[in-house]
Each structure stands twice: as C-alpha cells, then as structure tokens.
A and B are shown apart, each in its own frame.
Chain A
Amino acid sequence: MAMTLNDDQNMLRDSARDFMASEAPVTHFRKFRDMGCKDGFSHGLWKQFAEMGFTGILIPEADGGMGMGQIEAGIVLEEIGRNLSPSPFLTTSVAAVEALKLADKAMRDRWFPGILAGETVIGIAIEEGVKHRPEKIACVATRSGNGFKLTGQKQFVVQGASSDMLIVAARTAGAAGETDGLTLFAVDKDAAGLSMEATRLVDSAVAAHVKLDGVQVDADAIIGEVDGGWSVLSKMLDAGRVGAAAEMVGVGTGAMDLTFDYLKTRKQFDRVIGEFQALQHRAAHLYGEMEGARSIVLKAQSLIDEGHAKAELYVAAAKAKAGLACNLAVREGVQMHGGIGMTDEYDIGLYMKRDRGLNEFFGDTYYHADRVATMNGY
C-alpha cells in the first residue's frame, strides 16, 4: 500500500476537520470542563458524530456500519486530537467495536445499533494497577449457573461511569502473568454487585474505579472464547493503541501549530522570536519528530488493515513514537510560549494535559519500547 491517503480518505479528513473545527473546537472542550460535566463529554456531540457516520466507521457493513479500517478511524482521531474534542470515540467506536467484531451475532446485534446511533457508550475495564499490564490481570471469573461470577477491581476506565456496558477482562483459568486463561465479558452497567467511583483526570476526562463484587453474568455475555480472550484483547488493545497514537498525532500537531504561530507573532528584543536560530532549530527538530510519528502511525494502521504479521510490532513502535513526539510538542509548546503558556486561559496547557492522558492510555512509551525490544528478539 502506498503511504499516502487516497481520494476517499482525503474527503473523510476534510469533513472530519471541518466538523471538529466547527462543532467541537477547544472552546467546546472548555465549556464542558468549566461546567464540571459529570461525563466529561457532550451526548449531543456524540449523536452528531453518529449523524456524520463516524461512530460506525469500524463496524462491518453487514452490521450496518461503514466497514472501514484503522486508517479511517485514525483520520477522525487526529482531528479529535487537534481540537481536543471530548468524546467516547476512542473507547467505544474503536476499542470496543474491535472486540465486539469478534463476538457472536446476538452480541453484535445488541450493541452495534446503539453505537451507530450515537446513543451507546462502552467502557474498557482492563487496568488493575497504575500501569498497563494486561497479562497480569487477576480479576477472577468463576463458573456459576450458566455463566460466571466476576470478582475483582478495575481502574482507569475512561468514561466508565457514563457507559452502558463495560468490557471486562477476567481470568477464567491460569495465573496472573499468563496470557492463556483470560476471558472478555460484556457487563451491563446496572449489574448487581458492580459499583463505580468516577474521578476526574488531569485532562478533564472522567475515569472510573470499578468494583466487581460477585457480579453474575450469563454465558451470552462472553466475547470470543472462554480462556481464549487474549486474542480478542490483543486486537482491542492494538486498535486502541494505534488509535491513541493517531489522536496524539493530532494533539501534537495542534500544539505545534499553535506554537509556530506564536513564534511568528511574539516580539521581544524588537524582533519576532521566530527569527532566533535557537528556536528555529528546535522547531525544525520538533517538526521532524512529528512527521516521523505521523509516518509510523500510518504504517501501523495500514498493517493492521492488511492483517500483516508485523502489525503488532509497528503498533507498539507507533504508540511509543507518537508518545515521544507529542510529548515533545507540548513541552516545547509551553516553554516557547513563555509565561503565557503557564496560564489556564491559553490553550497550549490543555494540550499538555491531554498528551499526558493519551500517553498513559493502553501502555506508555516505555511499555511499548520494551515490547518492541522483545518482539525484535532481545
């Protein structure tokens, strides 16, 4: 595949760019942050996403969706990142949809229509510690009735408290540290024994700590195979990771554009500060890092879409690189803005906070660089 967008993808980018800039720019994000919105996003905007066809981008055509791939999902995510548009797109339309695509028809029929309509929100309940360690999942599912009983705790469940359903990874066999023996469940938010504590994050996203105290689920809540959840989980995580990387390309680019505009207008010592070579070289280096990140993210997306054997390696590298580049963009952004960059009134700090959240989501740069090393044989 050529590493350039085709005509259809360029059209999608143009419409996503126009839509986010007019319907969900940074002022929209500020409004929901400042009102202390319990969800951290607008349900009205989520409906508009559906009207634009975004929510079903990855849902197969046979299930009523657009049947597109990670490149297209990434196009939307980049614009989300550039505008800091708050939405459940990454968790629901990317990660959850990738898992549900591997579920049986009854499960797909139950959840896809709501996602397509922009009514359903799904939370991803994977993390059990402060760092991403999916193979260390210890939450237990024991056989009970015709299904399972879930006991354990989850955290960093983004938009968990606003969700209609949680995808919960639990251990049906094996011990923490093993990839075999995991199973994924679709757990209704109102299930008895399930409780949540919503907490606001640095980037104003709202995430939940989830307690599962003997939550009974039927056999029809299982996504994929019992004990064979790792393959579903891996697909879900990789889609979420490359999606977060695409969003970081947007966040980093947004921060970079703000900063470069500032360099071209701010005057000190009777000169526009963009004339100073000390800043020019850092700007050019940053641009190179962002261009690299954009390239490896596109490569990873296309390899997933092709079902390529190296997709996992490139996803790890893409998440690591996008994390490094976006982080550089926001750090240089705040520094080059000087004092005004430290103010809440100015947008650059919002980008810095969002970068931090996305960097941590589904494994940080160090986690993924370590995976690159392992997959490369050392």
Chain B
Amino acid sequence: MSNFKSRGFYIKFYSFLPIIVLFISVLNEFDLNYLKLEYFSFNFPFILIFFFTLKDFKNFDYLLVFLAGLVNDTVVGLPLGISSLSYILICIATSYLRNITIRPNPIKDWFYFLFIISLINSINYSILTLFFSYDLLLLSYLVNIFFTFILYMFFAYLFKYYLKGLND
C-alpha cells in the first residue's frame, strides 16, 4: 500500500518536474555566467516554456508560467511584469503554432523559436529602454538570442527523453 503511495508521489513529482525546473531556473538564474565565457549567456526558461507549451504538456500551467515571470523579474531586478509578458507571449506563439501545424517538424519549430525569441527580446528591449530608461547592451541581447537558439536543440533532445520516460 505504502509502495503504491510512494510510487504515486514519484510519478506526480516527475510529471510536475518541468514547472519545478522552471521555478528553480528563474530563482537560480541558471545561465552559467560565472564561467566567465566572454559574451556567453542563454535563456533557459525560454527554451523550457517554448518546448513544453508547444507539446501542450498538461502540467505546465500558464498561471504558474506567469508567476515564474514575476519571480524572474524580482531576482534579476527588472520592473515587475516584463518577464511574465515575455513568457506569456511565448505561450501564445506556441499555441498559435500548434493550431496551424498539421505535421510537426523539429527544424521548423527551431527556426520558429528563433523568430519568437528575437521578437520577444525586441519587445523587452524596447519597453526597458523607452519606458524605463534602462541602459542596455544590444550586443548581449543578440548573443543571448544566438546561444538560446543554438542550445534549443540540445535541451529539446533531453526533454524528449523526459517525455518518453513519462509515457513509459
């Protein structure tokens, strides 16, 4: 009986893992910046949100994504709501892509991801510089977009394994 219970807990934990990882990554700012690789940075939450909302993962609640955005803003020190808006825009983009796609193609998804993160970072940059008078380096945004785009396939591969494990 207890075995069933503990097994049930693990399954539940496993099925909520993406959202837990999302919260850990926004609280921890997991981006390997301390390695001091010049210009290297990437946005892990973007990859995670894009992948799991594109797969319409049932435990990936939009409200929790929205809250993760608020947490990210607090940790990074951005005005509240900026990251939430970015994350929700990713959710909208993936929802739209799901609606118009009949036969999914990973390469098309990948380039669509590039388009979406470029668009969202542009909106982000515009809001911060125009409305909040922040001084930001455009180059670091471009580098961040590039590495996020490059690393998408690697993480997508890992996430597919996760989904396979969940289905098994």
Is A bound to B? no
Listed in ascending order, the chain B residues whose CB lies under 8 Å from chain A are none
